C-alpha cells in the first residue's frame, strides 16, 4: 500500500525574477493548475521582496508561499535581515532553511540553522530544512555520515511537536544547478537513510510522517523516476521552477 505521507513540490526561485516577471510566472502557474488540479501541496519560494504580492497572487489557489531564509533573532539591529515574524505577518507559510547556497556563500552552520528553525517554528512557519553532501564527500564515501551529522545537529534539540512542522529536503550539492541528478536509486538510498536517522532521533511516527523531498536538477524528464521511489515524497526545484510549464509537468510526474 502506498504510504500516506503528504507529497510536496516546492519551487525555489533563488535570486531570479523581477517583480513583474515573478507575478507573471505565478499567474501562468495558476492557470495551468486550475486547468488540471492537484491534490498535492505546492509551495513557491520567491525572493523576500515579492512575498506579499505572491501571497495575493496565489490566494484561493491552494498554492503556499515560502521564504528562502530568515534571521534567527526575533527582531533587532540586524541591518538588511528579515525575521520569521515578518514572514508570517505577510502570509508566508513556509521557509527554506539550511540551503547549501546559504551554507556555502553565507557561512551558515548546522548550529545556526538550528537557531533559525527555532525562530521559524516559534512563529508558526513550516520549515523546509535542506541537507546534502558535496561531490568530494560523496567520492570519499562520507556522505551518509555527513548527512546524519547535519540532521542531528540541526534537529536534535526539538520536540516532536516542532519536528511535525519540518520537511527535510535532501539536496546533493553536486546535483544543484549542474544538470547532474542523483539516480532514483541513489536518492532512495539516502532518503531511506534519512528516515532511519529521524527514527533514531524522534521515533517511528515522526520518521514515517516526515516528508523528505529530493532537490538537485529535477526536471520533467527525470521527475517521475525520482518521485516513484518509496521514500521520495516530493521535490525542491530550482531551475525548472522558473518555467511554469516545466514546474507544472513535474507536479504531474508524481505517480497516482
Ligand atoms: P536546481 O536547484 O533544481 O536548479 O538544481 C535545486 C535547489 O537548489 O533547491
Residue ranges of domains in the chain: 9-68+211-241, 71-93+107-174
Q: Is 252 labeled as catalytic in the residue annotation?
A: no
Q: Is 56 labeled as catalytic in the residue annotation?
A: no
Strands (E), the chain: 8-12, 41-45, 64-67, 94-97, 126-131, 166-170, 212-215, 234-237
The atom number, within ligand 1, closest to the CA of 178 reads: 5
Asked if 117 contacts 85 with a C-beta cutoff of 8 angstroms, the reply is no
CA separation for the pair 70, 86 (Å, rounded): 9
CA separation for the pair 18, 103 (Å, rounded): 25
pTM comes to 0.97
The atom number, within ligand 1, closest to the CA of 219 reads: 3
Does the beta carbon of 239 sit less than 6 angstroms from any atom of ligand 1? Answer: yes
List the end-to-end C-alpha distance of the chain, in Å, as a whole number: 12
The whole-number pLDDT of residue 166 equals 98
Return per-residue pLDDT of the chain as tens, 256 residues.
567 898 999 999 999 999 999 999 999 999 999 999 999 999 999 999 999 999 999 998 999 999 999 999 999 999 999 999 999 999 999 999 999 999 999 999 999 999 999 999 999 999 999 999 999 999 999 999 999 999 999 999 999 999 999 999 999 999 998 888 999 999 999 999 999 999 999 999 999 999 999 999 999 999 999 999 999 999 999 999 999 999 999 999 999 8
* Span from the CA of 66 to the centroid of ligand 1 (angstroms): 15
The residue whose CA is least distant from atom 2 of ligand 1 is: 238
The CATH number that domain 71-93+107-174 falls under is 3.20.20.70
Query: β-strand 41-45 against 126-131: which pairing, if any?
Result: unpaired
Amino acid at each position: 500500500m502506498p504510504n500516506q505521507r503528504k507529497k510536496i513540490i516546492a519551487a525555489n526561485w533563488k535570486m531570479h525574477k523581477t517583480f513583474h516577471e515573478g507575478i507573471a510566472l505565478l499567474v501562468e502557474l495558476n492557470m495551468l493548475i486550475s486547468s488540471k488540479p492537484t491534490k498535492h501541496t505546492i509551495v513557491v519560494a520567491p525572493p523576500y521582496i515579492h512575498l506579499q504580492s505572491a501571497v495575493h497572487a496565489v490566494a484561493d489557489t491552494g498554492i503556499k508561499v515560502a521564504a528562502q531564509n530568515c534571521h534567527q533573532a526575533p527582531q533587532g539591529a540586524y541591518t538588511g535581515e528579515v525575521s520569521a515574524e515578518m514572514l508570517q505577518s505577510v502570509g508566508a507559510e513556509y521557509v527554506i532553511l539550511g540551503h547549501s547556497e546559504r551554507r556555502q556563500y553565507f557561512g551558515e552552520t548546522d548550529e545556526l540553522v538550528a537557531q533559525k528553525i527555532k525562530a521559524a517554528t516559534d512563529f508558526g512557519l513550516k520549515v523546509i530544512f535542506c541537507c546534502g553532501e558535496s561531490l568530494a564527500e560523496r567520492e570519499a564515501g562520507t556522505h551518509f555520515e555527513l548527512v546524519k551529522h547535519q540532521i542531528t545537529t540541526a534537529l536534535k534539540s526539538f520536540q516532536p511537536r516542532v519536528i511535525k512542522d519540518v520537511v527535510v529536503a535532501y539536496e546533493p550539492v553536486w546535483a544543484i544547478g549542474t544538470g547532474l541528478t542523483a539516480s532514483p536509486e541513489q536518492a532512495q538510498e539516502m532518503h531511506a537513510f534519512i528516515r532511519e536517522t529521524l527514527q533514531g532521533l524522534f521515533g517511528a511516527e515522526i520518521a514515517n510522517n516526515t516528508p523528505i523531498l529530493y532537490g538537485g536538477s529535477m526536471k520533467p524528464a527525470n521527475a517521475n523516476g525520482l518521485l516513484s521511489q518509496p521514500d521520495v515524497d516530493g521535490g525542491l526545484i530550482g531551475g525548472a521552477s522558473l518555467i511554469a510549464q516545466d514546474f507544472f509537468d513535474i507536479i504531474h510526474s508524481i505517480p497516482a
